[in-house]
Amino acid sequence: MGLHIGSIAPDFTQDSTAGTIHFHEWLGSSWGVLFSHPKDFTPVCTTELGRASKLKAEFDKRNVKLLAVSVDNVADHARWVGDIEETQGVKQAFPILGDADRKVASLYDMIHPEANDTLTVRSVFFIDPAKKIRAVITYPASTGRNFAEILRVIDSIQLTDSHSVATPADWKDGDDCVIVPSLQDPEILKRKFPKGWKALKPYLRMTPQPNR
Ligand code: BEZ
């Protein structure tokens, strides 16, 4: 099944290091980031899980639950978590799904056979509280993800939802934003953007970040 931006994130029930997870129920009214790891006891994944745990408070601030998936069983994960905590100096702060049967990896098309028949690539699914997929990023196994970028994507999507702005190239929190082209009503524009905006072109209107 092709999963696209706007698709409903498939529901599943799967074991994890924090017990059985019924995915939609577990998400509740939170956002979710579901991200895959090629295999337990691999070096890049070990650093990624440590980094994500260190940033847990940043994800909490944004009402985002983190959920990792790796195609090994929970007993292996438990031993691996010991290594992660020892080498990365942080407690594992969110569950890792035991996906030895590849239920979740298959449902989310995380195994790309042209890359590897059995290991997952590094997929990241951003899921909103309506369970809609809002963004997807995919890296090869050899490239560790940038978790600051994952937070930046969440900030951008949440800003679009709350303030009708898009974010330009290389945007970071606090930079000017772009007013979405669909907003044209002058009264609504004035109400939504009391700090004003600069129309560089009729379609390119920059405004200070509205929630700052
Ligand atoms: C890793 O997580 O370190 C890794 C996994 C598969 C291939 C290359 C690196």
Question: What CA–CA distance (Å, rounded) separates 211 from 158?
Answer: 11
Residue 2 has pLDDT above 90, yes or no: no
Of all protein residues, the one whose alpha carbon is nearest to atom 9 of ligand 1 is: 142
**Amino acid, single-letter form, for residue 200:** L
For residue range 10-32, list pLDDT tens digits in order. 999 999 999 999 999 999 999 99
For residue range 77-119, list pLDDT tens digits in order. 999 999 999 999 999 999 999 999 999 999 999 999 999 999 9
Which of the listed residues 96, 118, 121, 142 should we mutate to test ligand 1's pocket, taking the one with most ligand atoms within 8 A of CB?
Answer: 142
| DSSP assignment of 16-51 | BBTB-EEHHHHHTTSEEEEEEES-TT-HHHHHHHHH
Question: What CA–CA distance (Å, rounded) separates 178 from 113?
Answer: 39
For the entire predicted model, the pTM comes to 0.96
Residue 6 Cβ contacting ligand 1 at under 6 Å: no
Active site residue 45: yes
For residue range 40-91, list pLDDT tens digits in order. 999 999 999 999 999 999 999 999 999 999 999 999 999 999 999 999 999 9
Percent of the chain with pLDDT over 70: 100
